[in-house]
Amino acid sequence: MAMLSEAEGRAVLRERFTRAGLHIVEDFPFDELGVCFSMDGFDPAQRTGYEYLTTEAGDRMDLTNDEIASLEGRIATGQLAILLIDETAGLTADGLAFAADRFIEHLRKTGYLKKAREGQESAP
């Protein structure tokens, strides 16, 4: 099974996050507490986004293991909500969409996403 390309993975994630009502800025210049990289997609108001880590995009050179650990620590404490998915997980487009949907569902259940945003996905 071939891995999804950077463009394919990003397209799936953007569609799922946008469908959930998030206002995604692509290639967001994230720069906080010593972690600086171009995040694939981020909603700065909701502090929620995604990064599909691929060799193709040079993500492993962009983000060190220490920076990933720093992000994961901030995610664990609720300061950020970033879905980090490595291409080596071997997800299909459907698998990636499922992971994104589960992530967003978890953020809603825990109250991380503001209730006002949830109503926007069904607004005309």
The pLDDT tens digits of the residues spanning 44-95 come to 999 999 999 999 998 888 899 999 999 999 999 999 999 999 999 999 999 9
In a domain, 20, yes or no: yes
CA distance 110 to 54: 29
CA distance 96 to 74: 23
Q: Are strands 25-32 and 48-53 parallel, antiparallel or unpaired?
A: unpaired
In a domain, 97, yes or no: yes
In a domain, 63, yes or no: yes
pLDDT confidence bin for 117, thresholds 50/70/90: very low
In a domain, 1, yes or no: no
In a domain, 31, yes or no: yes
pLDDT of amino acid 1: 56
In a domain, 5, yes or no: no
| Arithmetic mean of pLDDT, 34-43 | 96
Q: Per the structure, how many domains does the chain have?
A: 1
Domain around 48: 13-115
Beta strands across the sheet bearing 81-86: 25-32, 35-43, 48-53, 81-86
